[in-house]
Structure 1
C-alpha cells in the first residue's frame, strides 16, 4: 500500500494546517511523522521546557488521531538517517510539509529533498507559518525591505483575509496505531516550567496596556506561534481592524523572518558592518550579574528573574534588559542573544536576532546607537507602583538587594563615546 507522509515540524496542530490539508485532500492513507532532531536537541538540557511542550502537544494530537484508528509516528535522531529508515520500511509516494525559513531548516530540507527524489518520492512544501513569504513583500526593484514601516505598509496593502481551511477528513489517515513513546524513552524529562495557554481575549486593550508588565495583559501567543499550535491566519481572523498595534507585532515577526532569509549573515554578524569596529568589554562577572538579575537596577533584575523562573519576559522589559547589557555594560549583543535563546519559551531565531540587534543599534531598522534607556526612568514610567518588581524581587528594599553595579550617567556617556569613536565612518 502506497502512503503519503505528513511531516510535522513547526505546525503542531490538526486545524488550518496547509500541508496537512493538502495531504489529506490528495491521499487516502496519510501517515503523520514527527522527528525529534538530534542536531537541534544536542545543545539543550534534558528538561528543556520547549521540548516538554512539543512532547505534550504531540501526545494530545496523538490522542485525537487514535479516535480515528490512527496515530503519529514519533522518532528521534538525525533527520537524514531517520528518512533513510522510513524509506526502507514504507512504500511512499509523496511527503508533505510546511516550509521553514531558518538557515538550518532550509539546508535540512534541501538534503531531504535530494534523498527523497533519489527514491522517486516527491517532496511538497507549503506556505503555512506566515502570511507573506520571504519574496512576496519586496520593493519595486525586487530587493528586500530593510526598514520596517515601508515593509509594513506593503504587507498590509497585499493582505487579503482568506477563509480558514475546513476541518480535515480524518478517514484519510493511515490506520495504524503506534505506541506513543514515554518522554524518558526519548532521553528527556518533564520540565517544571510550563507553557501557558494563549489568551486572545484582551487584544482590544493591547495598545493601551502592552507597556505595563504588572498588568500581565499579553497574549502569551509566542510559544504557540513558534511551534504552530495556532496558525497566524487563525489569529488574524480573530482581530478587528482597530487591533493594529497587535497586528504590527505579527508583521514585525515576518519582517525579521525575511531579513534572516535574505541576509543569513546576521546570525553571527552585525547587519550594519559599520559597527564591526566596536570593541565590546565582555566582562564575564558583569554578564553573570545580568543573567542572574543582580545588577541593582530593579526593572532589569525583575525581567531576568522572570525569564529564569518562567521562560517568559514582558516585551517592554526585554528592551530594557537588552539595552542595559549592550549599552550600560558594553557586552556583545550575541552573548545576550544566546542567553535568551537558551531560556525563552518563544525563542525564534529571526525575532531574537532582530530584536537584539535593534537594542544594540547594529541591526537593519535599529534604535539609533545614541538611544540609551534609563532603567530608573523606565521603572517610574511603566511600573510606578512597583507591582512588577515586587513580584519578582523578594529581596528588593532589603540589605540583600545589590547596589547598582554601574552609575547610569557614567555608563551612558561611556557608551556614546565608544560607539562614536569605534564605529566605521
Structure 2
C-alpha cells in the first residue's frame, strides 16, 4: 500500500501558498468584475456574504480533511460518511467545476495577451491552449517543482493587485456610484453576485485534496485553510472598494487591467497589471491541474474512472495519466470557450459540491469534531440557497450533467456487483 501513496513533502507555508495560488487569479482579476456588474455599489456586501459561506465551508473541509487525510477531498468524504452515490457525485462535480474554472483562467489569459498585442479571434484560443500545454508539462514534473513556481506566481499576483488598489485611490470616486443606475436591479442580484464570488474563494479546497502530501495533515490542513480564507477576504474587500472608484460597465467582465486601460492610465501601470493578471491566472490553472488530477487519481483507484489513471511515476511524486486526462477535459472546455458561461457553470457545480462537503461534515462523530455543527448547517443551507440564484440555463445544464453522471455510476456499480456475485 505504501508504494501507492504520495510522499508527504509539503508543510504549512507550502499548503497556504497552494491555496492562495488556487484563489488569487481568476477570482481577483475576473470574478469580482462579474460580481460588480450584478451587485453594483453593493459589491462589498456580496464579497462579505461569499466570505462567510466560504469560511463555513472551509471549516467543514478542515474538519473532514483532518480526520480523513487522503487525496480526493469531498469525493472521499462522501464515500466514507454518506454513500457511494453522493461520493461519486462529489467527485464528478469537482472535476466538472474545477475544469471549468481552469478553462476560464486559460481563456482569460488568452484574451488578455491577445488584447495587449492587438490580436483577436482564434489567436485567443490558441494562446489559451499553449498556456494549458505549458502548465501541464510543469505539473507532470511533480508537486515540488510546482510549489517553487507557485511561490513566485503568488508574490507577483499580490504585487499587481496592490498596484491596482493603489492606483484606484489616486482617482476621484465615481459620483454616480450611489445613483440608481449603479444599484442592483433586484435584491436577488446581490445573491447571484455572491454565488459567482464564492467560486473566487474555493481554491482552499485544493488544500483538502492534497491530504496525502502534507506533513502532519491533522494540524496543517485546518490551519492552512483558515489562513488562506482570511488573507483572501482582506484582499478582496480592498479590491472591491477600489473597484467602486471606476465606472461600472462591461470592462470588468474581462480583467481589472481593462479598467485601468479605460481610465487612460500610464501604459506601464496597465502592462504591469496585465502581466500580474496573466501570471496569477496561470497560477490558478497550475493548481487546478494538480487538484483535479488528485481527484481523478482517487476516482480511478476506486474504479469510478478507468484504473489506468491511478498509475504513479516511479518516484511516487506525480500521477501522469491522471494529469493528462485532466488536461484533456480542460482543453475541451477551452475549445468551447465562453468566459462568463464557464464561470457561472463552475459556480453552480461548486456550490452543490460544497453542499455535500457540509453534509458529510455533519456525520462526523462528536468525539472527533472540533468544528461546531451549526457551522456546517449554515454552510449547507447557504450553498443550496446561493445555487438557486445562478442563471437558469446553467442550472439546467448542471442538473442534467449530475443526472447523467449518476446514471453512468449506477450502471457501472450494478455491473461490478453482478460480476462479484
Please indicate, yes or no, whether the TM-score normalized by the shorter chain is above 0.5.
no
Greater strand share, 1 or 2?
1
Is the radius of gyration larger for structure 1 or structure 2? 1
- Write 1 or 2 for the structure with the bigger share of helix: 2
Q: Which has the higher contact order (CA 8 A, sep 6+)?
A: 2
TM-score tier, shorter chain, comes to under 0.3
TM-score by length of 2: 0.27
